[in-house]
Amino acid sequence: MLDTTINQSLKDNDTVSGDRAGVVEGNYRASCLGCIAREVGACAGFVGERLSSRQSAAGEVPSVGQYYPARRPIVHQREVPDYVPIICSGWAASALVTHGGKRQIVSFSLSGDMSSAAYVFESCSGRSVEAISEVYCRKFKRKDFQAAVQNHAAGNPALSKLIAKEREASDQLHVDLSRRSAETRIARLILSIAARLRSKNVGAGEDFEFPLRQQHIADATGLTTVHVCKILSRMRAAGLIRTGGRHMTILDRAALQEIADQ
Amino acid sequence: MLDTTINQSLKDNDTVSGDRAGVVEGNYRASCLGCIAREVGACAGFVGERLSSRQSAAGEVPSVGQYYPARRPIVHQREVPDYVPIICSGWAASALVTHGGKRQIVSFSLSGDMSSAAYVFESCSGRSVEAISEVYCRKFKRKDFQAAVQNHAAGNPALSKLIAKEREASDQLHVDLSRRSAETRIARLILSIAARLRSKNVGAGEDFEFPLRQQHIADATGLTTVHVCKILSRMRAAGLIRTGGRHMTILDRAALQEIADQ
DNA sequence: CGCAGTTTTGATTTCTGTCAACGTCTGTGG
DNA sequence: CCACAGACGTTGACAGAAATCAAAACTGCG
């Protein structure tokens, strides 16, 4: 699956069926700047499905929007994209694949997220973006996106903040992977996702959507699925969390925080 | 030592003695763009000591240059810098410090390197930069640096390439820390430093300056000094490398590469 | 010389990975 | 509605890598 060629994956995507068009092209008005601003929590912006409507305000930037079913690649790791992908709805993962077929998830993208600010600057490959749940993703041509950032007063500051925020997250991941225990890494992952969801859906409480498979958690924390399972079991047994039906409930936030702070 | 206040560290730095001025201020002509271009190997540029001379070509950008003795902090992790630091000579390390006092080195900066492109965009703290050997570092005000990038035709492309390159390195570090063995991580570190030195000093061969302590290697690879020592001993015993006197010699590059590719 | 920072080495423990088997869920097609 | 297949989750036994602990040797330096 990971070795599917780009052409194959695009072909697959074209065959998406159902009441939604597989591919949506054209000069839709879409607020990419709203997206960036949303990303950094700077303003309410236009999130998710709305991006495909004609109600956006900031600019008119041509883009291609498309639905991707769960587990489908959005950007292939051998692709050299000349566009900036923005996740408008659903969950996606940015990952690296090693020589030996091992995978490292670098970040999860929730609705409104750009998978990496680096896409704005340079064609950079080697990283894949993959749908976790069903995803609606818009792809903006890099040149168009850069121009839109330049033409909008809030563009550059928002992008700068996004870069800083991404660096912060990347730094924390380094520390997690090198110096923290399996239990701590998983606790931190859960809490960081909960925090991001809360800042997006105004008021997601202790119970939230959680479409990640244990394989995703393992790939993000640098552990094996078996070990992830054992630790989640332990956390459940200790009454810290409840999982099931693609949902997660934080039952004892204080205790989870305690583990995460180590 | 890590908890030294910023003021204390600046005071310490002021007392540097010897035939070199501790602090060099003023509107020296310095090619920060040359630095960026140098960073990405795009052009020969102006490196190291030359930056403090008046021979630079590209622009005149005010900056503060200063010598830092080995093991002295250059940017404190609690500092929120409004400048862009460029290492003009010597070796420095960018590191994060955890709650529990553990350290993760994110990158080594060699002469001509900016410790992180993120400094150009936003005041981002939490990361410290520390001298390994004696370092001469120039600090450019962020606004000045940004203006210089904008005003120079090669500025933005060079900065974009730098960002992409940095992302690539950061991604590789993630994979290293999560999925590769201790031996592989160390082999990769040695080879990557050798490659960078070679691309800088035209023609640094298999023998090069290597001022890192085992503690630095441990902090960069996420291992303990004890384990680093054991693996280096094993590599020496296997005839792969020779170390001593702050130098490293690669004796069997093919075998080292073999280990690094795993 | 003595001291502090490094490097080295061995014994032991802890964490996490590997292997293997089995149970459960989910979607698909008849 | 049922049967089925494949993906996913769970559990236990065991192995291996790296951490921890402890002590000694080495280095450079005032």
Distance, CA of A232 to C1' of D3, in Å:
32
Q: Percent of chain B scored above 70 by pLDDT?
A: 76
DSSP code at position B117:
G
Q: How far apart are CA B246 and CA B194, in angstroms?
A: 14
Distance, CA of A230 to C1' of D13, in Å:
15
Residue B184 predicted with pLDDT over 90 = yes
| Closest protein residue to C9 (Cα–C1') | B230
Asked if residue B92 lies in contact with residue B137, where contact means CB atoms within 8 angstroms, the answer is yes
Per-residue confidence at A202, pLDDT binned at 50, 70, 90?
low
Pick the range with the lowest mean pLDDT from A145-159, B40-54, B93-107: B40-54
Distance, CA of A178 to C1' of D17, in Å:
14
Q: Do B122 and A164 touch (CB under 8 A)?
A: yes
Q: How far apart are CA A156 and CA B63, in angstroms?
A: 24
DSSP code at position B24:
E
Per-residue confidence at B108, pLDDT binned at 50, 70, 90?
very high
CB contacts < 8 Å between A and B, how many? Answer: 92
Asked if residue A26 lies in contact with residue A62, where contact means CB atoms within 8 angstroms, the answer is yes
The CA R_g of chain B, rounded to the nearest whole Å, is: 18
Q: Which of A6-20, A69-83, A193-207 has the highest mean pLDDT?
A: A69-83
Of residues B2 and A247, more confidently modeled? A247
Chain B residues touching chain A at CB-CB below 8 Å: 96, 98-100, 102, 104, 106, 116, 118, 121-124, 126-127, 159-161, 163-164, 167-168, 170-171, 173-175, 177-180, 221-222, 261-262
- Residue A61 confidence (pLDDT): 67
Q: How far apart are CA A81 and CA B167, in angstroms?
A: 15
List all nucleotides in chain D with at least one atom under 7 A from a protein Cβ.
8-13, 17-22, 28
The answer to whether B233 CB sits below 7 Å from nucleic acid chain D is: no
Asked if residue A74 lies in contact with residue A163, where contact means CB atoms within 8 angstroms, the answer is no
Q: Percent of chain B scored above 90 by pLDDT?
A: 48
Average pLDDT rounded to a whole number, residues B47-74: 63
Q: How is residue A152 written in tokens?
A: 């909008």
- Residue B201 confidence (pLDDT): 73
- Residue B192 confidence (pLDDT): 95
B223, closest nucleotide (Cα–C1'):
D18
Average pLDDT rounded to a whole number, residues A52-66: 56
Residue A173 predicted with pLDDT over 80 = yes
Per-residue confidence at B99, pLDDT binned at 50, 70, 90?
confident
Pick the range with the lowest mean pLDDT from A110-124, A139-153, B37-51, B77-91: B37-51
Q: How is residue A96 written in tokens?
A: 């690296």
Q: Do B124 and A167 touch (CB under 8 A)?
A: yes
Q: Do A127 and B171 touch (CB under 8 A)?
A: yes
- Residue A178 confidence (pLDDT): 96
**pLDDT tens for each residue of B209-232:** 999 999 999 999 999 999 999 999
Distance, CA of B133 to C1' of C9, in Å:
28
- Residue B203 confidence (pLDDT): 64
Q: Do A124 and B164 touch (CB under 8 A)?
A: yes
Q: Do B122 and A160 touch (CB under 8 A)?
A: yes
For residue B177, give the nearest of A124, A126, A177 by CB distance.
Answer: A177
